[in-house]
Amino acid sequence: MTKVFSIANQKGGVGKTTTAVNLAAGLARQGIRTLLVDLDAQANATSALGIEKTEGKSLYKVLHGEATAADMIVATSTEKLDLIPSEVDLAAVESELAQAENYLGRLRASLAPLIDAKTYGAILIDCPPALGMLSMNALSASDYLFVTLQTEYLAMEGLGQIVGVVDQLKDAGATDKLALGGIVMTMYDVRTKLSRQVVEEVKTHFPTLVMETMIPRTIRLSECPSHGQTIFQYDVHSPGAVAYAALAKEFIKRFGLK
């Protein structure tokens, strides 16, 4: 059974795309056939995997019913990891979808054939850093919301907002299956009191949802996207690679991926 996850946080710079890319690669390395969907017009996940941005190679036409999601899939240099890339035309979808029929269900309908085919064990959607039309589509199409949360002050404020959106989508009838599946703490620095305090505070509010694996703040994780490589390709022995490998194993166990 294919399970769909939105990797999201409406705040930028919190390790969302880094997590989407390296978690997807980590799952693939564990033998889970994985599809990463780049739903951000900035196409950072696409670049981070070393895929060139190509005109027309995004979900733009798919969301308008002019192509299929399968048409857009490209292989990556990581075995068992495929990508639906993004490019700048996706930015126009935010305003165009608002005028469309079933505007919150377009992505769900687009991904349905891939889910029904059971080709992938997991589909991960890298959402834009804003709670706009594309993010709402991603959440409506997903089984689980997986939140990246930076271990910094005000982290809880952003978390409360995105959890509220899950409830709003359910109340609006846009989804009946979406659940908050997990929270991964990113840019964690064990040396700072603040990092530890933020983790403890989040665990107080969401004791069963915070992943045991913490993603450290490391320069290697910052460097690898500019080389078009996952952290496993760039420096497989680095603390970042060790952390994402552990997160992938924890993710597989938590969600029963096969």
Question: Any idea where the domains of the chain sit in the sequence?
Answer: 3-255
Low-confidence ranges of the chain (pLDDT < 50): none
Q: What is the pLDDT of residue 12?
A: 67
Q: What is the pLDDT of residue 242?
A: 98
Q: What is the pLDDT of residue 55?
A: 93
Q: What is the pLDDT of residue 225?
A: 95
For residue range 173-219, list pLDDT tens digits in order: 889 899 999 999 999 998 889 889 999 999 999 999 999 999 999 99
Q: What is the pLDDT of residue 164?
A: 87
Cα–Cα dist 69/73, whole Å: 7
CATH superfamily of 3-255: P-loop containing nucleotide triphosphate hydrolases (3.40.50.300)
C-alpha distances in Å from residue 18, one per residue of 23, 110, 115, 248: 8, 25, 24, 13
Q: What is the pLDDT of residue 191?
A: 84
**DSSP conformation letters of 135-188:** HHHHHHH-SEEEEEEESSTTHHHHHHHHHHHHHHHHHTTS-SS-EEEEEEEESB
